[in-house]
Structure 1
Amino acid sequence: MICSWCHQDVLREVSMLELLCPLLIPSDLRCQSCEDRLERIDWQVCCSCCGQRDTQHCSDCQEWTRTHPDFVFDHRGIFAYNEGMKEWLHQYKLVGDYRLRNVLATDVKKVLKAYRYDQLIPIPLSTDRYKSRGFNQVTAVLDAAGLSYEEHLLKPMALAPLAALSKKERMAIPQPFCLKKGAAECIMGKKILLVDDVYTTGRTLYHAAALIHSCQPASVQSISFAR
């Protein structure tokens, strides 16, 4: 067996069932070294709005509350955006190592099982970005986890990579998304869970959530692989 991240051998006891049917061996195994590079966020001690660790109400959410007083937002991140997560995202997204979609699959599936939602909606890529990368980093993980989702959102134009923008520039980004034809009717009255790879300032997910809210859903929550 090999680690789904570093592709080194992993020492692990194999069950009798796995010996009889090797296809049952998980494809997202992580060696201890790679496991130690990830830091799960404790939702008991994080921001009540965005899930940032070690704070009850972070400065970003205080600003969002001030500018959007009637907007109810509920976000959680699964892992902290530490150096290990940055390395995984760089190799997965920027280098384009599609194999790394398996690294977080089990974690994402386990976390999403705790949510009660009607529709899972991933944050989309622009057509140009999708063509250059070859895959959507969010839906690839959801596919690896065996989770179904609805691609109700479109991103008509590519924007500059958020990592290259300052916080002020990110906050000033205009609405980049639009709804697919017929999406509003599908969303109305439904419990929606948005999924993205990283939450930084919240600008991307707030744009997506605002568009979803215009369709009169029952509720809107969001989750990201990293925060």
Structure 2
Amino acid sequence: MKVKVQTLDAKASGDIELNDEIFALEPRADILHRVVTWQLEKRRGTARAARERSDVARSGKKFGRQKGGGTARHGDRRAPIFIGGGKAHGPRVRDFNPSLNKKVRALGLKMALSSKAKDGKLLILDTLTVKEFKTKSLLAQIGKLGFGNTTLVIDGDMVDNGFALASSNIPKLNVMPAVGANVYDILKHETLVLTRAAVEKLEARFNG
């Protein structure tokens, strides 16, 4: 699949041949749903378990008289109202570490990239090099390129430092290196922007 390459100034910079096995697949909602669900569950942190009455090592012997002590009647020292007692209804450890086959994860990323190409929401830029590290100048360039309401920009090994600085104050514009490309962030944004270096890294990631 041949796609036009542009510069940040919205000028033509030749063409690039995209691998059809990565950018021209037919997206499947079930695969994308499985991968996104897996990603979001992996992000969840497990709570630190608290010790309840059955977990506290304290005496279970009745420590006071039933009557005549002037205090409430208690059966043991593990009650939540005592210092060192077990916590009532405390947090318990839950497993949020699901597994998903690597082939399914790779297929999901390919389909996410393909869905953007199919919808015409994929832009290829030559580089992200900017002349001025100013947000105002970058906004003018982005306006010519036709970025969507939300845009994800993916570069090669590292995001160009000047572009990262200039774009840091632009809302709904996120940047990341190619190693961080994932299904959830790609689908979450309206427009996907890849540099030539990003395309090379992504294709090498699947071919390797």
Same fold (TM > 0.5): no
With a CA cutoff of 8 Å and minimum separation of 6, indicate the structure with the bigger relative contact order. Answer: 2
Tell me the TM-score normalised to structure 2 length: 0.32
